[in-house]
Structure 1
Amino acid sequence: MAFIAGLALSRLLYEGFFPQLLWLARPLVALPFAALTAYAVWLVWLKWARQLPPLAFSSLLLNLLWLFNPAVDLAGSRLIFAATVWLTAVFIWTQINTDERRWGKWGGWLLVMVALLPVYLFTMSASVGAADTFEFQVVTPQLGIVHPTGYPLYLLLGKLFTLLPVGTLAWRLNLASAVYALAAMSMLYFLIQRMLRHPLPAILGTAVTGLSLTFWSQAIIAEVYALHALIVMVALYLMAKIGDWKLEIKDWRLRVPPPHPITPSPVHVYALAFTLGLGMANHLTTLLLLPSAFLTILFTARPTRLTTHHASRITDNELWITDYRFWLKTAVAFLLPLLLYAYLPLRWQAVNGEAMGLARFVDWVVGGRFQGALQLRAWLDDPVRYQIVGRLFLENWGWWGLALAGLGLVVMVWRQWQTAVILLLTWFAYTFYALNYTVPDLAVFVIPAQLVGGVWWAVGLWAGLALVQDVARREHWPDVAPLALTFALIPALTMTVNHWAKNDQSGENPLEQWGRAVLALPLAEGAAILADSEKIAPLLYLQVAEGLRPDLDISVWPDEAAYRTQVDGRLAQNQAVYLARYLPGLQGIYHLRSLGPLTEVSTSPMTQLPNPSAVPGQVYPITPLPHSQFGPLTLLAYSLEPMAAGDEGNTAVTLYWQAAQAVDEVLHVYVRVVGGEGDGRATHSQHPANNFYPTNAWRPGEIVADYHLLPRPVITHDGALTYQVAIAPPFTPANQLAWQDVTTMEVTATENTAALPSRLLRAQIGGYLVNGADFPAKIRSQTRLPLLLTGFGSENPGLQFKLQPVSSPIGQITEFSPPPPVPPAHIWYENLNSDLPAGLYNLIASYEAQHEADCGHGRCLAPASYCGWMSPAQTGCVVGQVEISGVALPDTAVNYADQIALLDITTSGPALSPGGVLQVQLNWLALANMNQDYTLFLQVVDAQDRIVGQVDSWPVQGTHPTSGWQPGQTIPDSYTIPLSQEMAPGAYRLLVGWYLLGDGRRLPVLDGEGTAVEDKLIVPNLFVPG
């Protein structure tokens, strides 16, 4: 087992310090290294731990989950290795500490903290978050007012964390959630340890719960749910003390009652009431704990007689429970923390300069604006809700985890049914609430139910282990507990690795970079920026936290009508207005133009080019052009940012257009870069002015600034890049565009980037050392496959690439090539021809000898390739797999940009009723991984394209965003579209499409050849009877 750990350590060192430790990839070095590691562990065991059974080290075998997997996963492998070491420490510690001494109790807690704290810190972001997280990060330092229900407890505690002298303001508030989460897990540990009287299930159950998907996600962002979890766990722990919850699992043949009468102190009840009141000052769903609290007190006051060989007495607890003074004190303890809500009217006056008023206060506290989301009949009327909530539990626990939790519940019912009823009531209350609360972020409302699931999981694990040990004793086996637990924890560990990838926010935040770039633009003094819910986060945070552009009025509004009102009102008051969101319907009324990624809305046209020297903050020059005519449009000038300020991976170009006469047709602007690698194949097209301003809305003589963001090309050789522009109608094929050169720029070869490509590699291919690759996982036949490799080597043309069917073996060779000296960093770029039949292919990289020095006996041999740790010598390495197809879909399927396919659609039509509804059932297929959350639109339109019914939503009632879809996954999705009362008899159509909320850009519908033909699906033949 220690030998396996030594092998794992050698691979970790090889992949983590590639290419400096190349020798550790070779068996002649890795095997002795592992043997020395095992020998060192054996010596330690002989000297200090001979009393420990060897199976105490069995968790080290979990490294086999990744050790011989050829894929390079630095985070996952390190996490598994650390988990195996931690589990070994847990098993050893529990073997040594078999009693309940003070150090034994706190030692288990310390092991839990060692497991959770580094994970939370390593995955925590130091920058601004999104949605409610950003709001808390902005408002808390100012002691302002956040959205209902106000959360006064969270704001006051968060203010204390903002005073810390370390980290960014955002990081300090994220850290606060980590502290609350660790405190909640501490209470969970002590609760399970109290119930089972053993630290091992408490340690494992708490660690698994703390690393569950939803709880982990809330432990690393500024949100109220980690604090809510702490309140819930304190309340459950106090209920355990009041009810004396104990489930010693020793004898399966008896239901053992408590050996002593239950004698809780009323002080515990007062503390429970105070805790619940305090929780109400943070999150109103604390109310759902009240039934469990009352039931705990009832069970304590009137305990059930158990007729076994143990005697049980009814205590006189009913004496104090019937005393009115007890209930009066309990009510005071509950109501006292609610005085924290006085924060709202006090701070409202200071923030808004007016009294809050009683009606507004009550509506704010009860969350009046959210009442419509609580549909109390949803559990009866909408069976999809059960699928949604069930998926939340499955995502957090998996089938094995749910099975263990189910076993734990059964054991609790068998051993102490009162405790089981109380916990089941708590679980049911929050689960039932989730069934009826129709919001996109539903997962966070189920966290208390997940905490109860963590208790059940620990009980189920301990009960299962007790059964295994019972069998082992009868069969006279050695102590197999560590080995049994090792196998039982495999599903939890693999899920934790997946959760890391989903929750890790430690990288740079591109939105914050974008916000800095925007606030550095030459924006008018005192201007307004109307942003969407995503883009307002970095803008407002940087304004508050770092004092950037305090003169700007930055705001977000609930819907398009509110934004339109703001635009009209502010322009009427001569305030400059910039949009950081898509807002249709402005063309023809206002003049629109780009200012970087923002869109300026103006009542007057631009008639002269900006003077860069007179514009503060204008870094890149505006270069006038000689007569450049593009049909009815003239390109007057351009401004080029080789590295876009808001996105260093892209190039930004602003074009300045003018139309001498009115333009009757809608024309798109197409932009591309020719030269470098890729050679113009990435084409960007949109309406001018950030996709806002169709050409048929321009006034004659108006100058329109038009901003485009293009992928920054990879340059492997010194040369030139040419920026080209074309004007044509939407959906014009690239080979039919009339391209014209705008400018040419001399460039030098791109240096190897510090940020590795998305696919990590650790391979020696001849004299080349490759550490990463980027290429699409799916392409169409007859198209070219762009491949980017990074690593260390030269420009020697001997590096070759080919696509080979996955069923074809890779050649093995017997020669030995020593690791070469580390050459300079380099980037390779290739465009491979994919003129192959549809199927799955391995992308092979190999080295073909090009010089006589590499040749012998008249033939040239391919130097050996070593494709990873402990890899044998081969003729080439698999860089990855590529699927070549025309996207194999049913003939009736609709393809949205090779990313989403609509397999089928059914409606309740074709006859429509004015004022009624249209039921739509959709079945989607994910074709690729998506890092964007696309919004689905369903529009019912009449013959004049007037909308009479519309729904815009993320899929599955907003709970299953596209960024979480897996390729090949099918997603059933149903909608109810309310229809207008004013529908005249006649023909109607249903439009179905996808768009990005930030810029309104739609996913194009592709034909069988991959050509964009539309931006929506049109479902005809709907009608209102005459």
Structure 2
Amino acid sequence: LLKLQPDISWANYGGDGGELIAATVTLGLPHPPGYPTYVWLGKLFSLLPLLPIARLFHLFSALLAAASAATVTATMGNGNMRTALLAGLLVATAPLVWGQAVIAEVYTLNLLVVSLWLYWWWRRPQASGWLGFWAGLSLTTHLTSLLLVPLTFWRVPRAQWGRLGGAILLGLTPYLTVPWLGRPGSLISWGEPQTISGFASLISGRLYQHQVLALPPAEWLLRLGAWWPILLAHGILLGWFLLPWVWRQTPPENRPPILALSLAGLAYLGYAFLYDSADAIVFALPAIPLLSIPLTTVWQRWPRAAWMLPLLAVTLNFSYPPIKGQSVEPNNLRAVTVPILDKLPADTLVTTPGDPTIFTLWYFQLAEKQRPDLIIVDQNLFGFDWYRARLQRHYPELRGLGVNDWPAFLAANETERAVCAIALASDQPLFCPNLSDVAP
């Protein structure tokens, strides 16, 4: 808790945080697949009186991560209590988990639901109703949970598959609220979730499917080099290199579930590695609890050495700059953004070059209600028909929204109002070509 990011931040691949907070407090619909479970739970949590609201959501992430570690502890709690505590501590102190626990993101909620699924999968697979429910709910927190569906059916006798399928559908019910969250009046919404095709497109994450398993082979070595410090840290802490030894030491009757969890964890790692996005490493987060179960049984053979692992993890966390409380550039988003917003003329048309700038501005305007008079339009989103249609409904005074022609749109509106471009990651974050009295 002492290491929470104190304010809105892009640290630890947290550029989506501003959009998630703004969409949640306004009950809107964030980027695909919409994350309805996060929105509803986050909305309840946002009612607590803590400011700035960004820090409140960082606290939300921290509590979810702590609950995940507690759930993993309970999963191993039917055996040696030291082993159970070790499993939970290894999850809680893993650098990748801690990095997501101090910012506003969806990944710690997904981690918690996956950990709950793991509890029922490992300890009570005969309770197919609960197992199916958590499997379905996990899909509403992140689509990578599709990797768990085969394991869910494999663990349950075929005679119970009907009940299991019904429970999975029950867990998916938060998706039924997506059309309402994306209603025409929503201040943040993606796609056209009121139509069948739009709904299917959004919850399937079609917008990002071109990035799945799409990392060019020429970049594999570059990614491995960039990820190596984090992979090495987690490999040392969880002992993933001991998987073959785990297999040999496991009684034959326990080998199938051990192998299944190991393969699922490695599948998460492979999916993350081949996903063509700079923040793809966070997709590997669920691999940590999945692999902690089989590997904790190894470390209990060396109890004194095992208890050094959480201490080593904490040391690694405090040596990792973003987790020490430092943010990525810009170093202080509030110090950069608020003065820019304050100097803009009334009713300015503000253009942005894509996320995370648009997400940060949504946070200040919608979550903190700063400068509600500004009209914020994103150049990347402008290419989507649904986005221009939504702009037309919210701002009927805007011109040039009928077609995807960005220069024509700017030209059509610059005679009616000031037009300024904000790019928070740029050396010149503010550019107002027709306003000489607004300094960059």
Per-residue deviation, 1:526: 1.2
1:391 has 2:228 as partner: yes
Over 3 Å counting, the alpha-carbon distance change for 1:227 and 1:488 in structure 2 is closer
Distance in 2 between residues matched to 1:400 and 1:126, nearest whole Å:
28
Name which of 513, 527, 532 aligns with 2:348: 527
Aligned residues: 408
| Aligned residue number for residue 398 of structure 2 | none
* Cα pair 1:408 1:459 within 8 Å, conserved: no
One-letter identity of the residue aligned with 2:325: Q
Residue 329 (1) aligns with residue 159 (2):
no
Counterpart contact for 2:8–2:18, Cα < 8 Å: yes
Q: 1:241 aligns with which of 123, 140, 163?
A: 123
Give, in whole Å, the separation in 2 of the partners of 1:355 and 1:390: 36
Relative to structure 1, the CA distance from residue 275 to residue 419 in structure 2 (aligned partners, 3 Å threshold; closer, same or farther) is same
- Corresponding residue number in structure 2 for 1:136: 20
Q: Which amino acid aligns with 1:426?
A: A
SS in structure 1 opposite 2:185? helix
- What secondary structure is seen at the aligned counterpart in 1 of 2:431? strand
The correspondence for 2:194, drawn from 356, 375, 384, is 356
Q: Which SS does the other structure have where 1:292 is aligned?
A: helix
In 2: Cα distance, 1:403 partner to 1:364 partner = 35
* Partner Cα distance (1:582, 1:158) in 2: 26
Which runs of no fewer than 5 residues in structure 2 stay unpaired?
Answer: 389-403
Give 2:246's match in structure 1, choosing from 392, 409, 415: 409
Structure 1 counterpart of 2:323 = 503
Q: Could you tell me how far apart the structure 2 residues matched to 1:361 and 1:485 are?
A: 48
Change (3 A) 1:537 1:126: farther
Instruction: Read off the aligned partner of 1:283 and give its amino acid letter.
Output: H
Greater fraction strand: 1
What is the distance in 1 between the residues matched to 2:129 and 2:412? 59
| TM-score, normalised by the number of residues in structure 2 | 0.81
Counterpart contact for 2:317–2:324, Cα < 8 Å:
no
Q: Is the 8 A contact 1:404 1:457 kept in 2?
A: no
- Alpha-carbon deviation of 1:382? 7.1
Report Cα offsets for 1:411-458 as digits up to 9, x if no partner. 664462122122123213312322432221111111111222333442
Q: Aligned to 2:279, which of 441, 445, 457?
A: 441
1:461 to 270, 291, 299: 299
Partner of 1:539: 361
Match of 2:431 among 596, 599, 605: 599
C-alpha distance in structure 1 between counterparts of 2:383 and 2:137, whole Å: 39
Letter in 1 for 2:148: L
Q: Distance in 2 between matches of 1:547 and 1:210?
A: 35
Give the alignment partner of residue 97 of structure 2, picking from 210, 215, 233: 215
How many Å separate the matches in 2 of 1:177 and 1:212? 15
Where 1:351 maps in the other structure, the secondary structure is coil
Find 1:147's aligned residue among 28, 31, 43: 31
Q: Which of 265, 286, 292 is matched with 1:427 structurally?
A: 265
Contact 2:114–2:286 (8 Å) recurs in 1: yes
Matched, 1:343 2:177: yes
**Stretch of structure 1 that moved more, 365-374 or 507-516:** 507-516
Amino acid at match of 2:183: Q
- 2:149 aligns with 290
Deviation track 1:729-761 (CA, whole Å, cap 9, x = no partner) reads xxxxxxxxxxxxxxxxxxxxxxxxxxxxxxxxx
1:143 Cα deviation (Å)? 0.5
Among 559, 568, 571, the alignment partner of 2:411 is 571
Q: Which of 554, 567, 582 lines up with 2:376 in the alignment? A: 554
- Structure 2 residue matching 1:555: 3-state secondary structure: strand
Which amino acid counterpart does residue 391 of structure 1 have in structure 2?
A: W
Would you say the 8 A contact 1:296–1:422 is kept in 2? no
1:581 and 2:402 aligned = no
Code of the residue aligned with 1:152 in structure 2: it is: P
Matched, 1:228 2:110: yes
- Structure 1 stretches lacking a partner, 5+ long: 1-120, 244-263, 302-320, 466-480, 585-595, 611-704, 708-1026
Q: Return the alpha-carbon distance in structure 2 between the equivalents of residues 492 and 352 of structure 1.
A: 42
Quick one: percent identity of the two aligned structures?
25
Superposed displacement of residue 152, structure 1 = 0.8
Q: The residue matched to 1:193 in structure 2 has which SS?
A: coil
Report the CA distance shift for 1:599/1:503 in structure 2 as closer, same or farther (over 3 A).
same
* Residues 1:189 and 2:73 are matched in the alignment: yes
Q: Could you tell me how far apart the structure 2 residues matched to 1:488 and 1:222 are?
A: 27
Paired residue for 2:391?
A: none
Task: Decide whether the 8 Å contact of 2:93 with 2:313 is kept in 1.
Answer: no
CA deviation after TM superposition for structure 1 residue 538, in Å: 4.2
Using structure 1 for the length normalisation, give the TM-score.
Answer: 0.37
Contact 1:214 1:396 (C-alpha < 8 Å) held by counterparts: no
Give me the whole-angstrom Cα distance separating, in 1, the residues matched to 2:161 and 2:246: 32
Measured after TM superposition, the shift of residue 386 of structure 1 is 8.0
Query: Which residue of the partner structure matches residue 935 of structure 1?
Result: none
Q: Is contact 1:405-1:453 (8 Å) kept?
A: no
Show the 5 A alignment for 1:984-999: none
Deviation at 1:141, TM superposition (A): 0.3
The structure with more radius of gyration: 1
> 1:908-957 CA distances to partner (integer Å, 9 max, x unpaired)?
xxxxxxxxxxxxxxxxxxxxxxxxxxxxxxxxxxxxxxxxxxxxxxxxxx
Give the 3-state SS of the residue equivalent to 1:551 in structure 2.
coil
Higher RCO (CA 8 Å, separation ≥ 6 residues): 2
Distance in 1 (alpha carbons) for counterparts of 2:278 and 2:306: 36
Q: Which amino acid aligns with 1:133?
A: G
Shift of 1:236: 1.1
1:528–1:553: 8 Å Cα contact kept in structure 2? Answer: yes
Distance 2:276 2:49 in 1: 40
Partners of 1:430 and 1:239 lie apart in 2 by: 17
More helix by share: 2
Quote the offset at 1:543 in angstroms. Answer: 1.8
CA shift for structure 1 position 289: 0.5
Shift of 1:390: 6.7
Conserved? CA contact 2:16–2:356, under 8 Å = no
Amino acid at match of 1:282: T
Does the CA contact (< 8 Å) of 2:213 and 2:271 recur in 1? no
Structure 2 CA distance, aligned partners of 1:143 and 1:504?
32
**Match for residue 514 of structure 1?**
336
How far residue 216 of structure 1 moved from its aligned partner, in angstroms, is: 0.8
What are the Cα deviations for residues 673-695 of structure 1, in whole angstroms up to 9, with x where unaligned? xxxxxxxxxxxxxxxxxxxxxxx
Which residue is equivalent to 1:125? 5
Q: Hey, what's the Cα distance between the residues in 1 that align with 2:224 and 2:99?
A: 22
Q: Distance in 2 between matches of 1:273 and 1:123?
A: 35
What's 1:369 paired with?
207
Q: Distance in 2 between matches of 1:538 and 1:360?
A: 26
Q: CA deviation at 1:233?
A: 0.9
- Secondary structure of the residue aligned to 1:601 is coil
**Residues 689-734 of structure 1: CA distance to partner in whole angstroms, max 9, x if unpaired?**
xxxxxxxxxxxxxxxx765xxxxxxxxxxxxxxxxxxxxxxxxxxx
Equivalent residue of 2:421, what SS? strand
